[in-house]
Homo-oligomer: A and B are copies of this chain.
Amino acid sequence: MNINIRKGEKVDCVRMMELVRELALYEKAPNEVTVDLDHFIESGFGPNPVWWAYVAEITNEDNSKHIVGFALYYIRYSTWKGQRMYLEDIIVTESMRGNGIGKKLFDQLILVCKEQQFKGITWQVLEWNEPAINFYKKFDGVQFDGEWVNCSL
């Protein structure tokens, strides 16, 4: 299987949103997705982008291409550490898991962090999401901290 990791473009947004919905279903919160496609595109590709993404694309036998996963991040500012990458989503569609696609996406993010001199990557995982936690444990030096509570208003 030919898997290519490349920067996400405007035309990928519709498919990315499909994958977001797939993940929300898995995380038992399908109704929580209220973002609108135009606003999603504007936030990533308008004059002041606030998110960036990499997509994993496979090439089929007839040479057509299909996006099967992506990683989306923004820059967070920590008053303790400085600029860090915040990994908002890393998604591989269910039927394509177990092919090392998630690892390829994650490796790409690590590369971006080094290039942009970010002080690391942070993200969150649901405490019951064991497959994801086991995936993250494969990377040297990942730290887990369950002492914080998320708040929102």
Contacts and interface: CB of A to CB of B under 8 A. Distances in A.
A149 B138 CA distance: 17
Interface in A67-116: 72, 74-84, 86, 88-89, 110
A132 to B, nearest CB: 9
Contact of A141 (B35, B50, B153): B153
In terms of DSSP, what is the predominant structure of the interface of chain A? mixed
A24 B81 CA distance: 12
A33 B80 contact: yes
A11 interface: no
A127 B147 contact: yes
B151 A149 contact: no
Nearest to A34: B81
A152 interface: yes
A145 B136 contact: no
A125 B145 contact: no
21 contacts: A17-B79, A24-B80, A34-B81, A35-B79, A35-B82, A43-B77, A51-B77, A76-B86, A76-B88, A78-B88, A79-B88, A122-B152, A124-B149, A126-B149, A127-B147, A139-B153, A145-B149, A146-B149, A146-B150, A147-B150, A148-B148
